[in-house]
Amino acid sequence: MPVALITHPACFDHDTGPHHPERPARLRAVLGALETPEFQHLLREVAPEAPESALRAVHHDAYVDSILAMAPAEGEPVHLDADTLMSHGSLAAALRSAGGAMRAVDAVMEGWARAAFVATRPPGHHAEPNRAMGFCLFANAAIAAHHARAHDLKRVAVVDFDVHHGNGTQAMFETDADLFYASSHQYPCYPGTGRPSERGVAGNIVNAALPPGSGSAEFRAAWQDTLIPALERFAPELLIISAGFDAHRFDPLAELNVETADFAWLTEALVRVADRHCGGKVVSLLEGGYDLEALAAGTAAHVRALMRH
């Protein structure tokens, strides 16, 4: 069965301005990396727009209403926080990001793809129930998890190897024992959450905080010793990955020293967990990654590992 690649050209039209790290060139780098012959058998799918009801499943109504009302029809962008903004094309891009995540869930649950990678922007893991944050408008991973429940799933896990803690996903999962969130991230770092003491309602939140300067050994140990064993105990029926590539040593936004090979190693390990617990069903969503070469190489390594199982 193929691996799906889900994207939409509207995601290039989320214009963050000339000096913003979360820029359209990121998506060009990601899609360019997946143009080589080894990826020719990816099943290429168009991301639909998420329906409003899916946004309202994880965000407060007032927040969704305000985003829909504030989206600029033309002209100047609207700032939502210090580094998160909406341009003319942003709402459509954000709806495709969330909708792509839902389409990926459909792909693996309906059985026409074994796994799916969603290459869209804006990313999602910082978006909280009631506010946009950290380049994120809608909480794509949490939206995907809730959508999975429409397929009669109960236990859904999100694992997050972006260098930043996914405060939004955690906020949406921490009171529901049937949702699991595990993250490795630099700490201290933006957004300031993600301490190991943040455990959720039933130990369903697991945080591995890595000091600045940590590299391959610390990253792999966190997953091998802490995060993957917890994921195994949770025994998910679907595994969703928040795939950010900004833990790479070349990334300009943080100070971890992870290598491209570590992204491959981790993806292979996560795929084995999915094989054991959920028939190999993996949905992976692009989050961060701001060095274009490291982002392209990390994406290729990640998708290659998704295709191998």
Structure tokens at 4: 């799906």
What is the spatial distance between Cα 309 and Cα 307, in angstroms, rounded to a whole number?
Answer: 6
Contacting range for Zn ion; rule: CB under 5 A; set: 87-95, 217-225, 283-291, 298-306: 283-291
Q: Any idea what DSSP says for residue 106?
A: H
What is the spatial distance between Cα 236 and Cα 278, in angstroms, rounded to a whole number?
Answer: 7
Supply angle C-alpha 255, 98, 277, rounded to 5: 75
Contacting range for Zn ion; rule: CB under 5 A; set: 81-89, 157-165, 166-174, 219-227: 157-165
| Binding status of residue 124 toward Zn ion by CB under 5 A | no
> Which residues within the stretch 12-31 sit at the binding site for Zn ion (CB under 5 A)?
none
Q: Any idea what DSSP says for residue 257?
A: B
| Binding status of residue 166 toward Zn ion by CB under 5 A | no
Q: Which of 126, 146, 164, 302 is catalytic?
A: 126
What is the spatial distance between Cα 188 and Cα 154, in angstroms, rounded to a whole number?
Answer: 33
Position closest to Zn ion via CB: 288
Contacting range for Zn ion; rule: CB under 5 A; set: 23-31, 35-43, 156-164, 168-176: 156-164
| Binding status of residue 162 toward Zn ion by CB under 5 A | yes
Q: Which of 121, 146, 155, 164 binds Zn ion (CB under 5 A)?
A: 164
Q: How many residues does the chain have?
A: 309
CB atoms within 10 A of CB 286: 31
In the complex, least distance from residue 178 CB atom to Zn ion, rounded to whole angstroms: 26
Sheet of 115-118: strands edge to edge?
A: 43-46, 3-7, 115-118, 282-286, 238-243, 156-160, 179-186, 205-210
Q: Any idea what DSSP says for residue 175?
A: T
Q: Which of 99, 100, 166, 288 binds Zn ion (CB under 5 A)?
A: 288
| Binding status of residue 298 toward Zn ion by CB under 5 A | no
In the complex, least distance from residue 125 CB atom to Zn ion, rounded to whole angstroms: 8
Helix (H) or strand (E) holding 186: strand 179-186
In the complex, least distance from residue 78 CB atom to Zn ion, rounded to whole angstroms: 22
For tokens 């529901």, the residue is: 176
| Binding status of residue 126 toward Zn ion by CB under 5 A | no
Residue 260 neighbours by CB under 8 Å, 6+ apart? 248, 294, 297, 298, 301
In the complex, least distance from residue 244 CB atom to Zn ion, rounded to whole angstroms: 4
8 Å CB contact between 189 and 163? yes
Q: Is 147 a catalytic residue?
A: no
**C-beta of 22 vs 237, nearer to Zn ion:** 22
Beta bridge partner(s), residue 5: 44, 117
Site string for Zn ion, 226-265 (x = CB under 5 A): ------------------x-x-------------------
**C-beta of 96 vs 126, nearer to Zn ion:** 126
Task: Identify the CA nearest to 307 among candidates 158, 111, 116.
Answer: 116
**C-beta of 100 vs 244, nearer to Zn ion:** 244
In the complex, least distance from residue 287 CB atom to Zn ion, rounded to whole angstroms: 6
In the complex, least distance from residue 204 CB atom to Zn ion, rounded to whole angstroms: 22
**C-beta of 98 vs 133, nearer to Zn ion:** 133
Q: Which active-site residues does the annotation give?
A: 126
Note the residues at the interface with Zn ion (CB under 5 A).
162, 164, 244, 246, 288
